[in-house]
Amino acid sequence: MNRRLARLALLGALALDGCSDDASSAPAEKPHVSRLRVRVAVADLRAPTIAFYDVADREVVGRLTIDAPAASLVGSQSGDTALAVPKDGGGVRVLGGGVAVIPHKDHIHIFKSPPEVLGDPVPGAGAAASTFADGQWGIFFEGDPAGAGGAAAALALTEEPWVQGTRVPVDVAAPTPHRGFTIPFGGGYLVSRPQASGGPVAGGADLVVAGSAPQPLVECPEMTSAASSGAVVAFACRDGVVLLGPDRVAGAPVALPDGMKPYELAALAEQPFLLGRDPAGRVFALELATRVARALPLEGEACDAVLEIGTTPRGVVLTSAGNVERFALASDERRTTVAAVPAFACSDPERPRLAATPGRAWITSPASGELLEVDTSAGATVRRISVGGAPGPIAVLGLAARDADLSTGNDKLTD
């Protein structure tokens, strides 16, 4: 057990809490058992600070200073840590949220401690993109746009120990700028390959394993994003979504309904669905087992589409109208709609951002300096939390799919 988990142990009993997918006329869901263990990390768009809001304490319990304002926060699948990727791609930092849940046979231990910056900065050149899979972050640095010797590079960073980083050899020619990615996969790393004609988009993915030449695995013209569910990696390509399974065989593109084109993808470990957004702001859910994609009955243009952490397949969408919509993905049914923030443009660099936990959505409001808690089960805004500055990128910590449905009897962590 590391020093961050050794400070305070809260012991609770183990219980299971199911989540219903009944019709919207069914009684409202009870508050999910995991809700109060969560901490929400919020990055200031204009300052190099990260605020941590504790749901049980109902207050900001810590503020961390990093090297530059963060362009994104990427949470780990364990819920223990997050990666803060700054706007310029240099000085990537690992953040400890101060919450860890350790399951045992008949109970769970919950550990809480102050949030902290872990280890040294992870250096890199140019803008960066990051994903998390199989206990590792994959970071792709686009290179120095000024051409000062900064070639595109890939990096793998292991969550435990916190400061262990291993550079992945990338001997494919990646022009600058290049929209790239690195995803841990099958004992190696999937690294994006630029299109043969060049340009700022990827055309496929190579498997890079230490000591071996890159192995082309995926052909994906005009690739715009990739996401990992753990066992399956999905790619948004010109002709649809390409899925790559553990057998290292990429199937034919999954066609989307209604003339949709995939643009951004969202996936979570142990979720049977992934979500996708197309350039027009429409949203689809793709069932991984059947390879069937269906459009969600969305009201308005989607700016963010995320999955709820946990094993029940639900999706949450933030629209440009400022509404939060929650869907049961197994039935494509919209459960609730909540007016959360004023209307905004998806292209606005300082716009609201979305994260989700079971029965809750978390919205940043850079205009008001607030974090909003939305009850997506009941369809109501629950709380407006002042965090100051211009809150933007967001991640939830203290929750993982493997323990999301485990409850605790501790008074501070139950309703």
The domains of the chain, with CATH numbers, are 3-16+32-413 (2.140.10.20)
Cα distance between residue 69 and residue 50, in whole Å: 9
Q: How confident is the model at residue 209 (pLDDT cuts 50, 70, 90)?
A: confident
Tokens at 112, concatenated: 């809480």
Q: How confident is the model at residue 410 (pLDDT cuts 50, 70, 90)?
A: low
The answer to whether the CB of 136 falls within 8 A of the CB of 157 is yes
**pTM for the full predicted model:** 0.89
Query: How does pLDDT run across 273-286, given as a tens digit for each residue?
Result: 999 999 999 999 99
Pairing of strands 391-397, 292-295: unpaired
Mean pLDDT, residues 82-101 taken together: 87
Element housing 40 (H / E): strand 39-44
Cα distance between residue 45 and residue 104, in whole Å: 39
Residue 264 has a CB neighbour count (10 Å cut-off) of 17
The residues, any chain, with a CB within 8 Å of residue 320's CB and separated by 6 or more, are 281, 300, 301, 302, 303, 343, 344, 345, 346
Mean pLDDT, residues 290-317 taken together: 93
Q: What angle do CA 303, 306, 312 make, to 5 degrees?
A: 150
% residues pLDDT > 90 (the chain): 58
Exposed/middle/buried for residue 311 (C-beta within 10 Å: 0-12, 13-18, 19+)? middle
> Which pLDDT does position 175 carry in this prediction?
64
The answer to whether the CB of 14 falls within 8 A of the CB of 103 is yes
